[in-house]
């Protein structure tokens, strides 16, 4: 995901013959951000280290009884209605980023709370879709906008037909935020 570029994703499978193939989800091109901002030398490194993720915040939800009941049966494909559709997810993710971050100024203390809030909200929305046999991973990166170069992308080893990812990107004068959601079908 690249700042300054529109977010487009190309999901491609390298090998169509296998059912579990490697799909690569890549977007954006190398950063072309002007180096004019380089006078922002790391005056105090504590800024970057204090707010770097350490171990990331990982909320884990164990399976509910409803999800456990799926374990008794096996399904090879999601039904037409229950398939994960990136376009739907992208839409509400963009909306969530907009509502939370518009006119906001980067603040290291608040970034932690905000990125977690956004991630939780995206996850809640995904669960609301009620697709049943999907597991979700939501990743939110919230950074300060000082004109630094950044690049974010992912590669997945999964079933191209049933699994998918959606991403949204937001930026203003003070901060940038990228949200990526992965939906993984379990059989």
Q: Name residues contacting other proteins, limited to 101-160 (CB under 8 A).
A: 106, 108, 111-112, 115-116, 118-120, 122-123, 126-127, 135-159
**Residues of 116-125 as b/e, b for ≥16 C-beta within 10 angstroms?**
eebbebbbeb
User: In the bound complex, what is the minimum distance in angstroms from residue 99's beta carbon to other proteins?
Assistant: 17
Residue placing its CB nearer to other proteins in the complex, 74 or 81? 74
Residue from 6, 10, 17, 62 touching other proteins (CB under 8 A): that is 62
Tokens 């800024």 label which residue? Answer: 47
| Interaction between residue 40 and other proteins (CB under 8 A) | yes
Residue placing its CB nearer to other proteins in the complex, 38 or 85? 38
Cβ-in-10-Å burial (0-12, 13-18, 19+) of 177 comes to buried
Distance of CA 108 to the CA centre of its chain: 20
From 163, 155, 150, select the one nearest 1 (Cα to Cα).
150
User: In the bound complex, what is the minimum distance in angstroms from residue 103's beta carbon to other proteins?
Assistant: 19
User: In the bound complex, what is the minimum distance in angstroms from residue 19's beta carbon to other proteins?
Assistant: 11
Cβ-in-10-Å burial (0-12, 13-18, 19+) of 158 comes to buried
Q: Kindly indicate which of the ranges 4-12, 23-31, 79-87, 89-97 contains the residues binding other proteins, using the contact rule CB under 8 A.
A: 23-31
Residue from 53, 98, 99, 105 touching other proteins (CB under 8 A): that is 53
| Interaction between residue 84 and other proteins (CB under 8 A) | no
**Token reading at 164:** 């998918």
Question: In whole angstroms, what is the distance from residue 14 CA to residue 65 CA?
Answer: 37
Question: In whole angstroms, what is the distance from residue 164 CA to residue 70 CA?
Answer: 20
Residue from 47, 79, 98, 99 touching other proteins (CB under 8 A): that is 47
Q: How many other CB atoms are found less than 10 A from the CB of residue 105?
A: 12
Residue placing its CB nearer to other proteins in the complex, 7 or 163? 163
Residue placing its CB nearer to other proteins in the complex, 12 or 61? 61
| Interaction between residue 73 and other proteins (CB under 8 A) | no
């Amino acid at each position: 995901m690249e700042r300054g570029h529109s977010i487009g994703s190309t999901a491609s499978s390298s090998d169509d013959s296998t059912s579990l193939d490697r799909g690569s989800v890549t977007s954006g091109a190398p950063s072309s951000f002007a180096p004019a901002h380089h006078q922002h030398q790391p005056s105090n490194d504590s800024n970057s280290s204090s707010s770097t993720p350490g171990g990331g915040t990982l909320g884990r939800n164990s399976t509910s009884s409803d999800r456990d009941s799926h374990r008794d049966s096996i399904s090879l494909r999601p039904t037409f209605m229950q398939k994960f559709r990136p376009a739907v997810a992208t839409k509400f993710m963009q909306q969530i980023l907009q509502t939370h971050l518009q006119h906001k100024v980067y603040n290291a203390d608040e970034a932690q709370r905000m990125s977690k809030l956004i991630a939780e909200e995206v996850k809640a929305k995904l669960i609301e879709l009620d697709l049943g046999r999907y597991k979700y991973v939501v990743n939110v990166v919230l950074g300060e906008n000082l004109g630094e170069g950044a690049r974010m992308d992912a590669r997945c080893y999964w079933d191209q037909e049933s699994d998918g990812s959606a991403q949204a990107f937001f930026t203003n004068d003070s901060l940038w935020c990228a949200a990526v959601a992965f939906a993984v079908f379990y059989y």
